[in-house]
Amino acid sequence: MDLGGTGRDRRRAATLAEIKAAARRLLVDGGVAAVGLRAVARELGLTPPALYRYFPSHEALIGALIADLYDELTSALMQLQTTDESPDLGERLYLLANGLRNWGLAHPAEFALLFGTAVPMADAADHNETPGHQAAMRFGNVFKELVAQVWHWKPFPYPPDELLGAELIAQLTAESEHFQGMPPGAIYLSLTYWTRLYGLICMEVFGQLHWVLPDAGAYFEAQLREIGEALGLDCPPAEQ
Amino acid sequence: MDLGGTGRDRRRAATLAEIKAAARRLLVDGGVAAVGLRAVARELGLTPPALYRYFPSHEALIGALIADLYDELTSALMQLQTTDESPDLGERLYLLANGLRNWGLAHPAEFALLFGTAVPMADAADHNETPGHQAAMRFGNVFKELVAQVWHWKPFPYPPDELLGAELIAQLTAESEHFQGMPPGAIYLSLTYWTRLYGLICMEVFGQLHWVLPDAGAYFEAQLREIGEALGLDCPPAEQ
DNA sequence: CGTTAACTGTTAACGGTGTTAACTCTAAAC
DNA sequence: GTTTAGAGTTAACACCGTTAACAGTTAACG
């Protein structure tokens, strides 16, 4: 490791990292609104226009921050899996779910930046190839791949096609290649797992569950057990 | 109705309504960021400081807009129920769920303002008695009351206490009075219904489902059928 | 080595925002 | 008919993202 060298591009990379670190710092205590171009510049003793040598706009800076956060979350979840030695892939899914929740609870501001109100009316069909979007795809693939592994490790029973309807089956079949050849009914159950997990964590982190449950931890555990059993996984029972 | 009278307080109420109408208009095409104090003033030919005769701050204006939107959504959902003549309360729940979804899809900007990234780090325990919060409570009560009516109309089977764990049961029991005396297990199922519904609609409206399902309508229908059956309700089958 | 070019940072300025203070005018109140 | 409260104005402040023109340093090249 030859960090801090005198090379010019290394100095550039260093200040670039400092910028993103300052942006992260401002994000943590102050929310998304607090990470402004001038605030970041002020944080490291620079004048605002200097940042334009590193990012073409404020939006680009936020985008880079988003991409970094996605990658950080992705690698954290992947490391959580590889750490697990047991061959029980269901347990890995359990670890992934809890890992995502714990990350969100530990970093609410970052979580809000990544998952709060994403593209209400942006061009969805268009090829928005922003680095943040690519990082989000890599993040989504972590779940996709694990759930496909779980399926091929121990195929779980899934609802019959008649129960889901022809249109939904058609859509799910089109996505089969992205799920390593899983049948549409199994993809449906996997999607249910993801949807419920995502909704639960968002509601808890964003505080929309506090007005009915003071501590959503026990509720989350119960829900996780429920959706885990829907995938034929045996989960740890609730402690009495 | 004596609208448009020459009274001074009536003139005040009229311009107040105009302000909120302009804010709503800006919100619809442009998102939350577009509804600025100066933009609203510009919209109705006033100078920015004039608005301070009606709202103490920009934040208060947004708050009033939020409260109005909550009330609009609440009354829309309540009217949807009272319109239903049939004694099948399960169908009313189905109507409520679809009504919420349709409102979100029809008014994505308003939906994002109400349900996107709410209070990531705000004081939750403190008595934040903003009009928006009160309106949100009234909105939540629509679901609470209907689900309690459904329970007393046709009690549905619920998971045994041992399966949920002692801690969760304790929390749910504490909320029993808000659910008209429903047992904790039934409250748990009701909460599951709300959680899944909320998560589903948020993901669809915010476009976080497009990258796997082009049209989430069929998926929503299937999920609604699933969580409806969990409450012992017979839902319309999927059309083939 | 000396010159040139690229890069990093600066200052000054523009238009935008929310907000305040001081002032004018009009319409209700006594 | 005088007084008073309210609605609206202008001017200004501090902040924001962004751009243009300029200075200093540092690498590259003949």
Output the DSSP codes for A145-189. HHHHHHHHHSPPP---HHHH-HHHHHHHHHTGGGGTT--HHHHHH
Q: Closest nucleotide (CA of B49 to C1')?
A: C19
More confident residue, A172 or A116: A172
Nearest to A222 among B112, B115, B164 (CB): B164
- What share of chain A in percent tops pLDDT 70? 91
Task: Judge whether A150 and A81 are in contact, CB under 8 Å.
Answer: no
> What is the structure's pLDDT at A239?
63
- What share of chain A in percent tops pLDDT 90? 80
How far apart (Å, rounded) are the C-alpha atoms in residues A190 and A200? 15
Q: Which amino acid, residue A230? A: A
For B124, list phi and psi in degrees, rounded to 5: -85, -45
> What is the structure's pLDDT at A146?
96
Residue A147 has pLDDT above 80, yes or no: yes
C-alpha of B55 from chain center: 24
More confident residue, A59 or B120: A59
Query: Which bases of chain D are under 7 A from a protein CB atom?
Result: 6-12, 15-21, 26-27
> Cα dist. A132→A58, A59, A69 in Å?
14, 11, 9
The residue among B139, B163, B169, B208 with the most chain A CBs within 10 A of its CB, best to mutate, is B208
Q: Chains A and B: how many Cβ contacts under 8 Å? A: 159
Are residues B121 and A109, on separate chains, in Cβ contact within 8 Å? yes
CA A39 to C1' D16 (Å) is 10
Are residues A214 and B166, on separate chains, in Cβ contact within 8 Å? no
Q: What is the pLDDT of residues B181-211, one digit of tens each?
A: 999 999 999 999 999 999 999 999 998 898 8
Residues with CB under 7 A from strand C: A 8-9, 11-12, 15, 45-50, 53-54; B 6-8, 36-39, 48-49, 52, 56-59
Q: Is A237 helix (H, G, I), strand (E, B) or coil?
A: coil
Nearest to B207 among A118, A137, A215 (CB): A118
Mean pLDDT, rounded, for A206-215:
89
Mean pLDDT, rounded, for A150-178:
96
Query: Least CA distance to B123: which residue of chain A?
Result: A207
> What is the structure's pLDDT at B5?
55
Are residues B192 and A109, on separate chains, in Cβ contact within 8 Å? no
B25-34 in b/e form (b: 16+ CB < 10 A) is ebbeeebbee
Nearest to B203 among A109, A195, A214 (CB): A195
Please report which confidence band the pLDDT of residue B8 belongs to, taking 50, 70 and 90 as the band edges: confident
Chain A partners of B205 at a C-beta cutoff of 8 Å? 120
Please choose, from the candidates B73, B76, B56, B201, the residue with its C-alpha nearest in 3D space to the C-alpha of residue B130.
Answer: B56
The residue among A219, A224, A225 with the most chain B CBs within 10 A of its CB, best to mutate, is A219
Query: Which bases of chain C are under 7 A from a protein CB atom?
Result: 7-13, 16-22, 27-28
How far apart (Å, rounded) are the C-alpha atoms in residues A121 and B108? 8
Task: Judge whether A104 and A201 are in contact, CB under 8 Å.
Answer: yes
Mean pLDDT, rounded, for A214-218:
93
Are residues B222 and A140, on separate chains, in Cβ contact within 8 Å? no
Task: Judge whether A117 and B112 are in contact, CB under 8 Å.
Answer: yes
> What is the structure's pLDDT at B2?
46
> What is the structure's pLDDT at A163?
95
